[in-house]
Amino acid sequence: MSELEREIRRTGEQLADSFPSTVRHPVRALDARAMDLAARDRELRAALFRFVDVVPACRSLDDVARHLRDFLDEVPDVPPSLSAAMRIADVRAARPALGAAAAAGVKHMAHRFIVGQTPGDAVRVLRALWERGVASTVDLLGEATVTAGEADAYAGRCREALEDLARETPGWPARDVLERDASGRLPRVNVSVKISALTPLLRPDAPALGERDAAERLRPLLRRARELAAHVHIDMESLDSREAVLELVLDLLSEAEFEPGPSAGIVLQAYLRDSAQQLDTVLDWARATRRHAPLQVRLVKGAYWDHELVEARQHGWPTPVFEIKADCDRNFEALTRTLLDARPAVRVAVASHNLRSVSHAIAYNRLSGGDDGDLEIQVLRGLGDELQDALAARGFRVRTYCPVGDLVAGMAYLVRRLLENTSNESFLHERATGMALEELLAAP
Ligand SMILES: Cc1cc2nc3c(=O)[nH]c(=O)nc-3n(C[C@H](O)[C@H](O)[C@H](O)COP(=O)(O)OP(=O)(O)OC[C@H]3O[C@@H](n4cnc5c(N)ncnc54)[C@H](O)[C@@H]3O)c2cc1C
């Protein structure tokens, strides 16, 4: 076994030892059982996803119960606990009680992933995370932006989030690991932004129009972030907007007025077959551009895998994403190494809930002489809570992506996260079904 593999095993085992026990988190154990049930039965899973989608549009609890019954009616073999629920749904008088239980279940799930309705509500949770050694980035959930008014409103909410957090965070206690790396200070205020929400005009057939329109809203946000010494991270979405997003962000950050700040970041998706070339482009840009704070690159696998596959097949295009999970995982590790070797031109954030992917980043960084403090690990609220706690306990810099918004806006987000979590090839699913640590940490 190579030295790197040995270090990965050691790191992974130490982190696994630091995972909080589910005994102390009975609610998480309950959710895990519900997710397992959903993962095992494809029809049931599909019906539940459709159900979760309609709950926010329901007018009454009676309505919720009727929908649950209708969706479960489509499942051929309903588990016993759910057939009891279906019988209750037939009794008119009992329907509101069943509806209330179902609505409460959906709300409970949503609250696991969403930290508050507004940044003001979320501040309490973000501070509690910080005190436990966990930094955050706030994501403002929104529905699809179809008008200029909606794009203005989203930009306004991003600006408010920056301002609310900038008011609150100076009162937080010092946390050296979260506030400094070899390149200098790391902002306490960190907001993640979606370009598709900043313009209704982002279309693959006319990218320049969308870029110009989004720039009108992104430029003032970057200015405000610079004034408040905050970090702005641009999320990456589906492939049809990738070129526009990257071009827009790198062009704006090259402008002289943004040389002194703000600190900013982009996302690289390892499930794309051409992601290594994409990374070369970004690194060339980073090495050639004078900016006070290095660009942060958040490496992810990618959240739109099913979408990219279906889209390509429908058009008869070659699939832009890897189709074998191990190929994607291997590419993620190769990109991790390229990114870590490229410092200090960039700051590196490895975003994953996969213990192997995360342990690989930590191990490679150590073996190549890097300091733990020069690598950031990022997780999603609700999916990466245990890994987050383990990383913080071991003194690593961990940042949790915290969505803020109402239940209706959060539904699309919730469904995407549930799909990810219950997909058979997902690391979290493999871990939940009891796969041995040795296998979980094996090379892909
Ligand atoms: C902090 C944070 C921010 C994020 N921001 C973004 C973002 O801006 N844009 C974005 O797209 N995603 C983003 N993500 C989501 C991220 O892409 C998903 O969390 C990730 O896909 C799950 O990967 P994993 O390493 O946690 O789990 P794993 O279980 O190891 O990997 C699951 C992933 O592998 C890929 N995959 C699944 N099946 C296959 C297959 N058969 N062949 C090839 N590949 C497959 C998919 O990408 C799937 O999501 C973010 C995640 C985090 C933690």
Summarised one tens digit per residue, pLDDT across range 406-439 is: 766 666 677 677 767 667 678 887 887 788 999 9
- Interval between CA 62 and ligand 1 midpoint (Å): 37
Query: In the predicted model, what is the mean pLDDT of residues 179-183?
Result: 97
Verify whether ligand 1 is closer than 6 Å to residue 236 (CB atom).
Answer: yes
- E strands, 121-262, are 135-140, 180-181, 184-185, 190-193, 231-234
Is the distance from the beta carbon of residue 305 to the nearest atom of ligand 1 less than 6 Å?
yes
Which residue blocks in 195-304 are alpha helix, DSSP H? Answer: 195-198, 207-227, 242-254, 275-288
- Identify which has the larger pLDDT, 102 or 256: 256
CA distance 247 to 208: 10
Query: Which residues, in sequence order, are bridge partners of residue 376?
Result: 349, 397
Is the CB of 235 inside a 6 Å radius of any atom of ligand 1?
yes
pLDDT tier for residue 35 given thresholds of 50, 70 and 90 = low
The token pair at 103 is 């609505």
Query: How much distance in Å is there from the Cα of 301 to the middle of ligand 1?
Result: 4
Quick check: 34 pLDDT over 90? no
Tell me what pLDDT residue 32 has: 63
Of all residues in the chain, the percent with pLDDT exceeding 90 is 65
Residue listed under structure tokens 């700051």 = 347
Phi-psi region of 224 (alpha: psi -120 to 50; beta: other; left: phi over 0): alpha
Q: Is the CB of 357 under 6 A from ligand 1?
A: yes
What is each CA distance from 355 to 211, 358, 387, 395, in whole angstroms?
A: 37, 5, 8, 16
Q: Provide mean pLDDT across the span 145-151.
A: 92
- Which run of H or E residues covers position 45? helix 42-54
Ligand 1 pocket, 328 CB below 6 A? yes
Atom of ligand 1 nearest to the CA of 349: 1
Asked whether residue 14 carries a pLDDT value surpassing 50, the answer given is: yes
Q: Which of 237, 278, 301 gets mutated to test ligand 1 (max ligand atoms within 8 A of its CB)?
A: 301
The CB of 304 under 6 Å from ligand 1? The reply is yes
Banded pLDDT at 23 (limits 50, 70, 90): very low
Tell which wins on pLDDT, 100 or 118: 118
Instruction: Report the C-alpha gap between 32 and 411 in whole angstroms.
Output: 19
Atom of ligand 1 nearest to the CA of 425: 38
What average pLDDT score do residues 329-350 get?
Answer: 98
Q: What is the pLDDT of residues 81-104, one digit of tens each?
A: 566 666 666 666 766 776 677 667
Q: Ligand 1: distance of its center to the CA of 353 in Å?
A: 9
* pLDDT tens digit sequence for 301-335: 999 998 899 999 999 999 999 999 999 999 999 99
Ligand 1 atom nearest 384 alpha carbon = 53
Tokens in use for 223? 């200015």
- 271 close to ligand 1 (CB < 6 Angstrom): yes
Question: What is the pLDDT, as a whole number, of residue 122?
Answer: 93
Question: What integer is the mean pLDDT of 153-160?
Answer: 96
pLDDT of residue 312: 95
Confidence at residue 405, expressed as pLDDT on a 0 to 100 scale: 87
Determine how β-strand 135-140 pairs with β-strand 397-404.
parallel
* Least-confidence region, from 202-206, 302-306, 403-407: 403-407
Task: Count, in order, helices (H) and strands (E) of the chain.
Answer: 20, 10
Task: Compute the distance from residue 380 Cα to the ligand 1 centre, in Å.
Answer: 11
Q: Does the pLDDT at position 246 exceed 80?
A: yes
Residue 30, token pair as written in the block: 């309950």
Ligand 1 centroid–CA 270 distance in Å is 8
**Would you call 189 exposed, middle or buried from its count of C-beta atoms within 10 A (0-12, 13-18, 19+)?**
buried
